[in-house]
């Protein structure tokens, strides 16, 4: 029994103490690189699918909004009736008053210029 145990231990240790050749190392490295590349490709494919799904969702949302607004334009859709009334008051009451005021100022300037010209003529006639 002891002999069998000792022989089996010798056989196992002799195989374990064997050296790796360059070809063995190249094969192991190639397998690891191939596995790593495969994992990276799967990860990238997953990310691309995720981004594509997000882009598709945004595109559908934008298309839906565009479809909702096609053929429909309401310039006063978001305005409060108060602001519409204010614009009407400004355009119907205040704007004409400003026009009248502008005309009066213009007429006053013309009259003042005419008065100055007449004063100059009177002064010229006095001399």
DSSP 72: -
Alpha-carbon distance values, 110 to 48, 62, 77, 99, 122 (Å): 77, 60, 47, 17, 18
| Least confident window among 17-21, 59-63, 82-86, 106-110 | 17-21
Q: Return d(Cα 107, Cα 65) in angstroms, integer.
A: 55
Q: Return d(Cα 96, Cα 104) in angstroms, integer.
A: 12
Q: Return d(Cα 21, Cα 26) in angstroms, integer.
A: 9
Average pLDDT over residues 23-32: 88
Q: Return d(Cα 115, Cα 127) in angstroms, integer.
A: 19
pLDDT number for residue 70: 63
Mean model confidence pLDDT for the chain: 84
Read off the pLDDT of residues 35-94 as tens digits, 9 standing for 90 and up: 899 999 999 999 999 999 999 999 998 888 777 666 566 666 667 788 888 888 888 888
Q: Return d(Cα 23, Cα 29) in angstroms, integer.
A: 10
**φ, ψ (nearest 5 deg) of residue 42:** -65, -40
Contact 84, 76 (CB under 8 A): yes
- Domain limits, the chain: 21-73, 75-127
């Amino acid at each position: 029994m002891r002999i069998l145990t000792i022989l089996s231990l010798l056989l196992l240790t002799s195989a374990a103490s064997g050296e790796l050749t360059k070809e063995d190392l190249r094969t192991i490295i190639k397998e690891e690189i191939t596995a790593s590349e495969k994992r990276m490709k799967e990860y990238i494919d997953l990310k691309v699918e995720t981004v594509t799904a997000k882009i598709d969702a945004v595109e559908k949302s934008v298309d839906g909004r565009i479809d909702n607004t096609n053929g429909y334009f309401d310039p006063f859709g978001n305005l409060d009736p108060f602001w519409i009334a204010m614009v009407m008051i400004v355009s119907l009451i205040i704007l004409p008053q400003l026009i009248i005021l502008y005309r009066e100022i213009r007429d006053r300037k013309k009259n003042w210029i005419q008065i100055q010209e007449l004063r100059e003529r009177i002064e010229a006639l006095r001399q």
